[in-house]
Structure 1
Amino acid sequence: MKLRLGTRASLLARTQSGMVADALMERARETGVDLEVELVEITTHGDISRGSLVGLSEVGVFVAALREGLLDGTCDLAVHSLKDMPTQLHPELELAAVSAREDVRDALCTTGPGLRDLPEGAAIGTGSPRRGAQLLAVRPDLRVEPLRGNVDTRLGRVGDDLDGVVLAAAGLARLGRLDEATELIDPEDMMPAPGQGALAIEILPGADAAWADIVRSLDDAATRAAVTAERSLLGVLDAGCSAPIGAYATVENGQLSLRARVVDVAGTLALNESARGPASEAASLGRSTGWTLLGRGAARLMGRN
């Protein structure tokens, strides 16, 4: 049996999709199924656009083309970085699995100094308002500069026109380049994006159970509960990467702990909120925390009033 796995064409996306492909084939072998998984590269609008992507996560700039590939039969399943996915699930697709999460932290990559040791006025590159605002909350003197491109392009600017860049630790780890991180920033200083570090696998609901059940077996219950809480909060706040919002949930012994932060773009004001409850109620915990933040004025910090 052969499956076509839709993936973005970037090295990181292909690496992540390759990891899922390997996991599927290993799981199939364990159950006596002969399975081959072929990667099908699909170019997305986010890959060819040279403009800023701020504000485009709400419409799934990296996701739409992969979903179209599923719906038109170009591929049988698609792998996404969960933080890139719109909070509303696609009505014609099934989120079959959320694999076990990688490190959720953000990584600061510099020529040597850590966040608090950078020289005054240092230029740090990031394409994320969430990262930029939280950098300024810790170091108001920093210059936050826009950043696009693949991992090599971004890291190549360190020591050139930038003193450092901030990337997801998960991506560096999957590429085998985590040693290029100067500092893994504590979530207390930089709350990660909802869903950061997690991969999502989508399929058609009517897919052949002979292989679809193997895909579903990759689902990690604790990760799914955690990201469900984070993304439910994001859905209530009605915002994507255009707003400085961080959320991080963990699950232990069936209990889910959720922390969330909304920051104004200048990093001068922040709202923090936390909640705890049964992991089985992840979605409602996320929604209630989101409503609490709105009640405390989160909309104004996001520039919506």
Structure 2
Amino acid sequence: MTVIRVGTRGSALALAQTRQVAERLAKAAGAEIEYVTVTTEGDISRASLASLGGTGVFATALRESLLAGECDVVVHSLKDLPTAEHEGLRLGAVPKRADVRDALCAADGATLATLPEGARVGTGSPRRIAQLGAARPDVTAVDIRGNIDTRLGKVADGELDAVLLAAAGLGRLGRADAATDLLPIEDWPTAPGQGALALEVRAERGSRELERGLGSVDHGTTRATVLAERLVLAGLEAGCSAPIAAHSFVDDDLIFLTATVYSGDGTQRVTSSHAATPESRRASDLADAAREVAARAVEELLGNGAAELAPKEEAP
């Protein structure tokens, strides 16, 4: 039987989400799965994601392993994947997206509205810090790193009053019950690509079994909507750690996109919303509509001063 080698980070969340999609890949491909654990810069460093630059800190080592032929496919959290195409690689599949929302996990069942004044809320995301500053300027954002259990432990032991996490990650680890408040996407938009996974492969066509598996797990609507969101980042030339939120969805044969750029403290923001009608539900037509709404959103955001709020990402 064909063996498909799947590269993944070694964290509990990365392994859990990789196993979930790899099981589907194996079934569709009629293949066995071999897991290849890769250590990334983001796993080694304890520095904040903002200081590391955000973009690529979790993806680079996985991509190097793939290009070196050590694995056949790698699984990324899509929000961690740089927007620029990588020479020699392609996006093989984007499975159906999970819950896109952020979750507040607080002591005593508190919600964002009922957190006490002066509460300490942990997050490593500049976007979440900005949103927290806008929604609750009376609380304090604390920059933290670590896996989900480590972060939740800081609430349990009283070091923090709450942490902000992705609902999708909690769900994939079976910790959805830790959420005390699921923040509505209309009021609290999330990172481009949040809740989605990316299966990256080498540019040349793989084995028949691998290609069959990729085709089976790919979800066309998710691929189009995350494309629209990520094109906002690309168009603003901002990294995935920038204080930028974008949410796209398809409804009534329209693709919608809303994107927001925040100042670091959340006191200023610029928002743009657009919609387009794909000619059909074919992947190519959905992608064309995604590009259209993203281009219009980026033009409007830049015209309204977004570049001053989220400076361009510096080249490494």
Interval containing the TM-score (normalised by the shorter chain): over 0.9
User: Does 95-104 or 246-255 show the bigger shift?
Assistant: 246-255
Partner SS, residue 155 of structure 2: coil
Where do 5+ consecutive residues of structure 2 fail to align?
279-285
Query: Where does 1:162-173 land on structure 2 (aligned, <5 Å)?
Result: 162-173=160-171
Q: Deviations over 1:4-44 (max 9, x none)?
A: 1000000000001101111112223xxxx3x1011110000
- Is 2:243 the counterpart of 1:244? yes
Task: Say whether 1:145 aligns with 2:142.
Answer: yes
Instruction: Tell me the CA shift for residue 59 of structure 1.
Output: 3.9
Matched, 1:176 2:177: no
User: Which residue does 1:4 correspond to in 2?
Assistant: 5
What displacement does 1:55 show?
Answer: 5.6
Shift of 1:210: 3.0
Deviation at 1:188, TM superposition (A): 2.7
| TM-score, normalised relative to structure 2 | 0.91
CA contact (8 A) 1:106 1:168 kept: yes
Structure 1, unpaired ranges of 5+ = none
Query: What do the CA deviations read for 1:244-288 (whole angstroms, capped 9, x no partner)?
Result: 100000012431011111111111111111000034210231122
Q: Which amino acid aligns with 1:239?
A: A
Q: Is the contact between residue 109 and residue 165 of structure 1 (CA under 8 Å) also seen in structure 2?
A: yes
Identity of aligned residues (%): 50
Shift of 1:243: 2.0
Q: Answer yes or no: is 1:228 the counterpart of 2:227.
A: yes
- 1:78 is the counterpart of 2:81: no
Matched residues in 1 for 2:3 and 2:211: separation?
12
1:296 aligned residue: 304
State the secondary structure of the residue aligned to 2:217: coil
Contact 2:55 2:241 in 1 (8 A): no
* SS of residue matched to 1:127: coil
- Structure 1 window deviating more from structure 2 (246-255 vs 9-18): it is 246-255
Distance 2:221 2:154 in 1: 37
| Aligned length, in residue pairs | 299
After superposition, residues 1-305 of structure 1 pair within 5 angstroms as 1-28=2-29, 33=30, 35-54=31-50, 56=52, 59-111=55-107, 112-159=109-156, 160-206=158-204, 207-279=206-278, 280=286, 281-303=289-311
Amino acid at match of 1:21: A
Give the aligned residue type for 1:273: S
Structure 1 stretch 223-232 or stretch 180-189: which is displaced more? 180-189
d(CA) in 2 for partners of 1:55, 1:195? 21
Contact 1:233/1:288 (8 A) holds in 2: no
CA RMSD for the aligned pairs?
A: 1.4
Distance in 2, Cα, partners of 1:59 & 1:184: 26
State the Cα distance separating 1:54 from its structure 2 match: 1.0
TM-score (norm 1): 0.95
- Cα shift at 1:209: 2.6
Q: 2:122 touches 2:143 (CA, 8 Å); kept in 1?
A: yes
